Amino acid sequence: MSFSPITHLRHVDIAVPDYDKQVEFYAKHWGLASTGGERDVSYFAAEGSPEQYIVRVRKAAEKRLDLISLGAADRAAVDGLAARLGSQGVQLINEPDILQTPGGGYGFRFFDLEGRTIEVSSDVETRQHRKIEEKEDIPVRLSHVVFNSPEPEKMTAWYEKHLNFRLSDTNTHPRLGGLFWFLRCSDQHHSIAISRGPHTALNHVSFELRGLDEYLYGSGRLMRAGIPKIWGPGRHRAGDNTFTYFHDPNGNTMEYSTELATIDEDTWHPSIYDVSDPATSDVWGIAETADEWISKQMFNDPDKGQFVAPPM
């Protein structure tokens, strides 16, 4: 039996002022498939994923994280979680109901501790998808999302208490203390991570590629296309996943990654990794040294969507 009512990460929805460039970025450069939309809203799927879409882009005057969508096993799990969160004082945006987004389904929305909109859903129709072939350097699926928080210890405890996420590993610094908390809802090392930051914001969204070759081909393709690279290629110690981080046209950080570790619940014990050891950030030792400039590129702008539900 699963230890969390959450099964996986479905999609990440963002709002941006430079809408046309963001849409072009995902379709032309990032390797996602446009699945339509409506006025000032576009949906993007990953060719290898059964999810109807993994990214939604909405045009808005100010940049914000609209919502994070998480999967649940069935309607009973959705109803049970909604009742539980309500009894624990979590602010629900709406009660469970039929969803009016592509693929339908059944779900509800609520605010997390810092006011991000979280959606939990089940029974969403799957999308026709395909196997990604060798040397196809496009995302297979959504991997994970990382939040910046000025109070990451409280945020970590909130996700552990209310959604039963489990801590996989922690990155720390001898002077600054804890920096990253990696949280799982399944055997995937992390679906969500919390990063210490100066304000509430999106740190990055990560997309999984087929394998090491495809990840490197994709990273190189983006670099040759002039997409602003922040950091990588490299391989993290926590999660053992590869990384190359880029800025999208609106200043959000997007990651190409692959080979994220899986967890054996019977044997796993969380580790604490010291980022003053260069191998913690990059075990390969080929990426740029992690420094203050790289960290600041992922601070992002303060999120304008705290405790404000998106219009759709």
Q: Check if the beta carbon of residue 185 is closer than 8 Å to that of residue 233.
A: no
The Cα–Cα gap between 300 and 201 comes to 6
Q: Which CA distances in Å does 38 have to 19, 35, 105?
A: 13, 11, 19
Residue whose token pair is 């992690």: 290
Position 2 scores a pLDDT of 80
What gap in Å lies between CA 130 and CA 108, rounded to an integer? Answer: 29
Between CA 177 and CA 256 the distance in angstroms is 27
pLDDT tens digits, residue range 185-209? Answer: 999 999 999 999 999 999 999 999 9
pLDDT tens for residues 36-68? 999 999 999 999 999 999 999 999 999 999 999
Order of all β-strands in the sheet with 106-111? 33-38, 41-45, 55-59, 6-16, 64-72, 117-122, 106-111, 92-98
Asked if residue 1 has pLDDT above 70, the reply is: no
Say which residue the tokens 């509800």 belong to: 108
Phi/psi of residue 33, nearest 5 degrees: -105, 125
Total Cβ atoms within 10 A of residue 48: 18
Residue 49 CA to residue 72 CA, distance in Å, equals 17
Residue type, 196: R
Measured CA to CA, the distance from residue 232 to residue 298 in angstroms comes to 14
CB atoms within 10 A of CB 17: 13
Q: HSE-up of 49 (CA within 13 Å, CB side)?
A: 25
Q: Indicate the burial class of 8 (C-beta count within 10 angstroms; 0-12, 13-18, 19 or more).
A: middle
**Domains by residue range for the chain, with CATH:** 6-122 (3.10.180.10), 141-297 (3.10.180.10)
Q: Which residue has the tokens 């045009």?
A: 59
Q: pTM for the complete prediction?
A: 0.97
Residue 16 has pLDDT above 80, yes or no: yes
pLDDT at 242 over 60: yes
Measured N-to-C along each axis, helices 152-163 and 75-87 cross at an angle, to the nearest 10 degrees, of 130
Show the tokens assigned to 289.
């040294």
CB of 307 closer than 8 Å to CB of 260: no
Calculate the CA dihedral of residues 294, 158, 305, 230 and round it to 10 degrees: 10
pLDDT in tens, 126-160: 999 999 999 999 999 999 999 999 999 999 999 99
